[in-house]
Amino acid sequence: MSRSVLELRHLRTMLTLQDTGSVSAAAQRLHLTQSALSHQLKALETHYNTQLFDRRRQPLCATQTGQRLLTLAQLVLPAVEEAERELSRMVDGEAGCLRIAVECHTCFDWLMPTMDDFRAHWREVELDIVSGFHADPTSLLLTHRADLAVVSEYEPDPAVFYTPLFRYEIMALLANDHPLAEKPRLSAEDFRDQTLITYPVPDDMLDLVRQVLLPAGINPARRTSELTVAILQLVASRRGVAALPFWAVKSYVDRHYISARPIGEGGLFGELYAVVRQEDAHLPYMADFLHTMREVCASALAGIALLPLVE
Amino acid sequence: MSRSVLELRHLRTMLTLQDTGSVSAAAQRLHLTQSALSHQLKALETHYNTQLFDRRRQPLCATQTGQRLLTLAQLVLPAVEEAERELSRMVDGEAGCLRIAVECHTCFDWLMPTMDDFRAHWREVELDIVSGFHADPTSLLLTHRADLAVVSEYEPDPAVFYTPLFRYEIMALLANDHPLAEKPRLSAEDFRDQTLITYPVPDDMLDLVRQVLLPAGINPARRTSELTVAILQLVASRRGVAALPFWAVKSYVDRHYISARPIGEGGLFGELYAVVRQEDAHLPYMADFLHTMREVCASALAGIALLPLVE
DNA sequence: AAAAAACATGATTTTGCCTCATGTTGTAAC
DNA sequence: GTTACAACATGAGGCAAAATCATGTTTTTT
C-alpha cells in the first residue's frame, strides 16, 4: 500500500503542463527532462487509476479528473507561495506578531502611547495585549502565548532577554486632611489601622504588601478597584489609603487633589523590565519596540529614572 | 540555489507535530522514526533559516514562523484530501461532469426530459448543455470541451463510442390549403418555387437540402426561424413550406393545424446517434445516460424507430 | 542525583526521482 | 502511401534525497 504519492511537485507539473500544452515545453520550463515529466504523470495516473491528460493531440488537454487536480493546484500553489513570502518577511523581522503580557495595571498608561508610536512604523507587525493577569509572565513567553512581558523582577534565564526600563517611587496616598498627612513619611506601622485600597490582584504583586507590610506582620483592611482614578477618588473621600507609582498620580498630587508621602526610611521603589525570548531579541521590530518603550517612558513619565542598559 | 524544498509531506509532519506535541509521537503516527522527523524538521528550518518549533520543553510548540506554516497546512491538506476523495468518486463513475453538445434544434424536446430523469439519479454529476452550434461536435469531445454529442451521422473512429438512438421521418409541412397538399408525396421539383423555412444553420446540417434539393440542383428562397412553433406558424399562414422531423410536429398535424407529406419516393429519413469518448463509455453514469436517452425517446416520441444497439 | 524520556546527529542503507538512450506514436509534407 | 519529423513512452542505470540505525545530548521526572 503506497500512502499518498501526491506532492507539491506534481501539482506544479500539472499546472505547467496545462499552461504550456506540451510535456516537452513544460519540462523545459521546470528545468527537467521530458522523460521526467512523463514518468511523473504516469505515476500519478497509475496511482489514481485514471488518465489526467489526453496526450493524443496537441496541445494536450486535461481530462475531467485532470481538471479536478488542476483546480486543487490553483488553490494550493498560490497559497504556498504567499506563505513562503510572508515567512521570509517574518524571518527578516519585517512582519510578525507582538503579543504583550503585562502584570501591572498602571503600565497601560505608557504602553498605549508606545504601541501607537510603534504601529505607525511597523504596519506588518500585529500588536496585541494578552488579556488577563498571569502569575508568571515569563512562562507565557516560553510557551509562545506571548512575545513580550513587562515584569517587575529580574530573574536570570538564558532563554530570555531582559531590557531594564525604569525605577520609580511608590508613594503612599492620603486625603489632604488625613491625620497621617502630618507626617513627612510613613512607616509600616502607620498602615495598621487603615483601609488599604489596591488593584484586585494577588498580594505578591503588590510591592507595598510584599516588601513592607508582610515583613512587619501588618495586614490592614482591604478594598479593591480596577481603575486608578477610582482608587484616587476613594482616597480623596477618606475611605482609605493607597500606594501607587508616583508617576501615575503626580498630576493629581500637583493639583492638591490628594497628598503623597514616601514609605519607609529610604522610600519604597519599584523597577520594571521588559522581557522577550532570547531568539526574538534581535528582530528589528522587537529591538525597536524595546527602544521605543524606554523613550516613551522617559519623556512621558515624571519622576522616574531610566535604568541603565546592560550587556 | 535549492529551489523549493517544501512538499506536502512536510506540511503533514508539521500538523502532526502540532497535534501530538512531540516528535516521537508524531513519528509513530506517521509510521516513521523519530530520527526521520527530526531530520525533516531540521531541513525545513535550515532552508527557511528560522526555528519552526520550540523543542526546549514538552509539549513542543510552534514559533511564529512555525505557526504561519501550520496555517498553510490547515488550508492545504484538507483541500488535498477533499480533491482526492472527489477524484476517487469520479474514477468510480459516481461523480463527474456531462456536457452535452447538440447539433439539431429539435433535440431539446427529448433531451430535457432525459436530463430531468438522469439528474434525479446522479446528484453528483454536473449536467450542462454546450451552448452554440458547432460544425463538428465530435471534435468538441476530443478536445474535452464536451462529454457527449448528439449527431446525425456515424463516422467510425476508434477514439469514440457511438450509441444509435432512433430513425425518424422528415416530412414536408404545408398549409392545409396549400396547392401542394393535393399531392400524396412531394418531390425535389415541388420545392423549386416555394419559400423554404428552416432553422438558421448551415445547409449541410439540413437533411432536406443536403440529401434532396442540392443533388437535384434546386435552391428555393429561404427564411429562417429559431423556434419550431414559429416555423409552424409561418407555414400555417402560407409564408412558405418547411421540412421537420415528424415526431416533432405530429401533434400539430393530428390537430389539422398544418399538413404533412412524405418527401421523395421512399420518404426522407434521418438518424440520430449519441457519441462519447471511448474511455468514458463505460462510466456508470455515462452508460446510464445513454440508456436513458433511448428509453425516453422510445416512450416520448411518436413515429420513431429505435435503432438496434451494435457490438 | 540518577534514571528515563525525548530530541539531535552522523553514518549507512534504501528509496525514489531524474536522466539517458531508445522505442513508439501521431502529424505533416511530398 | 511513404517519409520525415516531432512529441510522448519506456526501461535501465545513476544519484541524491530521505529513511533508518546507532549513539550522543538535553530535558524531564522521581
pLDDT of residue B272: 94
| Mutation target among B76, B278, B283 for the A interface, most CBs of A within 10 A | B76
pLDDT of residue B155: 81
Query: Averaged over B39-45, what is the pLDDT?
Result: 96
Measured CA distances, B259 to B221, B238, B250, B251, B301 (Å): 20, 12, 10, 11, 19
CA angle (B223 as vertex; B220, B226 as ends), nearest 5: 135
Query: Averaged over A54-80, what is the pLDDT?
Result: 94
Is B157 in the same domain as B285?
A: yes
CB within 7 A of strand D (chain A, 34-73): 34-35, 38-39, 41-42, 55, 58, 60
Cell 489596591 identifies what position? A198
Last residue of a domain, one of B89, B124, B153: B89
Whether B296 is covered by a domain: the verdict is yes
Query: Averaged over A267-290, what is the pLDDT?
Result: 93
Comparing B279 with B79, the larger pLDDT belongs to: B79
CA distance B199 to chain A (A): 33
Is B173 in the same domain as B255?
A: yes
CA distance A276 to chain B (A): 13
Whether B1 is covered by a domain: the verdict is no
C-alpha–C-alpha distance, residues A255 and A283, integer Å: 43
Out of A120-134, A183-197, B214-228, B268-282, pick the least confident.
Answer: A120-134
pLDDT band of B311, cuts 50, 70, 90: low
CA distance B134 to chain A (A): 19
**Ramachandran category for residue B135: left, alpha or beta (phi over 0 → left; psi -120 to 50 → alpha):** alpha
Whether A184 is covered by a domain: the verdict is yes
Average pLDDT score, chain A: 92
CA distance B51 to chain A (A): 9
State, as a whole number of angstroms, the distance between the CA of B11 and the C1' of D20. 21
Whether A1 is covered by a domain: the verdict is no
Query: Averaged over A181-195, what is the pLDDT?
Result: 94
Contact B79 A83 (CB under 8 A): no
pLDDT in tens, B159-181: 889 999 999 999 999 999 999 99
Percent of chain A with pLDDT over 90: 77
Last residue of a domain, one of A40, A57, A89: A89
Residue among B71, B25, B65 at smallest CA distance from B49: B65
Query: Averaged over B281-300, what is the pLDDT?
Result: 94
Whether A2 is covered by a domain: the verdict is no
Q: What is the CATH number of the domain that holds B247?
A: 3.40.190.10
Is A216 in the same domain as A197?
A: yes
Contact A80 B76 (CB under 8 A): yes
Q: How many domains does chain A have?
A: 3
As to burial, measured by CB atoms within 10 angstroms (0-12 exposed, 13-18 middle, 19+ buried), residue B281 is middle
The answer to whether some atom of strand C lies closer than 7 Å to the beta carbon of B44 is no
CB B127 within 8 A of CB B119: yes
Start-to-end CA distance of chain A, whole Å, equals 58
Query: Averaged over B262-273, what is the pLDDT?
Result: 93
CA distance B87 to chain A (A): 6
CB A73 within 8 A of CB A13: no
Structural domain boundaries enclosing B263: 167-269
Is B197 in the same domain as B63?
A: no
Q: What is the residue type of B282?
A: H
Residues of A within an 8 Å Cβ radius of B: 3-4, 6-9, 48-51, 54, 56-57, 61-65, 68-69, 71-72, 75-76, 79-80, 83-84, 86-88, 90-91, 96-97, 142-144, 147, 159, 279
Is A173 in the same domain as A158?
A: no
pLDDT of residue B243: 95
Query: Averaged over B253-261, what is the pLDDT?
Result: 95
pLDDT in tens, B92-131: 999 999 999 987 778 888 999 999 999 999 999 999 998 6
pTM for the whole thing? 0.84
SS (H, E, C) chain A: CCCCCCCHHHHHHHHHHHHHCCHHHHHHHCCCCHHHHHHHHHHHHHHHCCCCEECCCCCCEECHHHHHHHHHHHHHHHHHHHHHHHHHHHHCCCCEEEEEEECCHHHHHHHHHHHHHHHHHCCCEEEEECCCCCCCHHHHHHCCCCCEEEECCCCCCCCEEEEEEEEEEEEEEECCCCHHHHCCCECHHHHCCCEEEECCCCHHHCHHHHHHHHHHCCCCEEEECCCHHHHHHHHHCCCCEEEEEHHHHHHHHHCCCCEEECECCCCEEEEEEEEEEHHHCCCHHHHHHHHHHHHHHHHHCCCCEECCCCC
Is B71 in the same domain as B148?
A: no
Is A70 in the same domain as A12?
A: yes
Is A57 in the same domain as A125?
A: no
Which nucleotide's C1' sits nearest to the alpha carbon of B25? C6
Is B19 in the same domain as B70?
A: yes
Is B188 in the same domain as B237?
A: yes
Is A133 in the same domain as A107?
A: yes
SS (H, E, C) chain B: CCCCCCCHHHHHHHHHHHHHCCHHHHHHHCCCCHHHHHHHHHHHHHHHCCCCEECCCCCCEECHHHHHHHHHHHHHHHHHHHHHHHHHHHHCCCCEEEEEEECCHHHHHHHHHHHHHHHHHCCCEEEEECCCCCCCHHHHHHCCCCCEEEECCCCCCCCEEEEEEEEEEEEEEECCCCHHHHCCCECHHHHCCCEEEECCCCHHHCHHHHHHHHHHCCCCEEEECCCHHHHHHHHHCCCCEEEEEHHHHHHHHHCCCCEEECECCCCEEEEEEEEEEHHHCCCHHHHHHHHHHHHHHHHHCCCEEECCCCC
Contact B65 A71 (CB under 8 A): no
Residues of B within an 8 Å Cβ radius of A: 4, 6-9, 31, 48-51, 54, 56-57, 61-65, 68-69, 71-72, 75-76, 79-80, 83-84, 86-88, 90-91, 96-97, 142-144, 147, 159, 279
Q: What is the residue type of A176?
A: N
C-alpha–C-alpha distance, residues B260 and A89, integer Å: 78
pLDDT band of B132, cuts 50, 70, 90: low
CA angle (A208 as vertex; A195, A130 as ends), nearest 5: 105
Last residue of a domain, one of B89, B112, B140: B89
Q: What is the CATH number of the domain that holds A52?
A: 1.10.10.10
Contact B71 A57 (CB under 8 A): no
pLDDT in tens, A13-57: 999 999 999 999 999 999 999 999 999 999 999 999 999 999 888
C-alpha–C-alpha distance, residues A259 and A177, integer Å: 9
Q: Which nucleotides of chain C are near protein (any atom < 7 Å from a CB)?
A: 6-11, 16-21, 26-27
Cis peptide before A220 (omega within 30 of 0): no
Is A264 in the same domain as A182?
A: yes
C-alpha–C-alpha distance, residues A231 and A197, integer Å: 7
Whether A100 is covered by a domain: the verdict is yes
The answer to whether some atom of strand C lies closer than 7 Å to the beta carbon of A72 is no
Contact B97 A64 (CB under 8 A): yes
Contact B64 A9 (CB under 8 A): no
Whether A3 is covered by a domain: the verdict is no
State, as a whole number of angstroms, the distance between the CA of B143 and the C1' of C27. 17
Q: Which three cell numbers stand for residue A26?
A: 513544460
Whether B310 is covered by a domain: the verdict is no
pLDDT in tens, A93-111: 999 999 999 878 788 889 9
pLDDT band of A193, cuts 50, 70, 90: very high
pLDDT band of A203, cuts 50, 70, 90: confident
Contact B71 A56 (CB under 8 A): no
Query: Averaged over B204-232, what is the pLDDT?
Result: 91
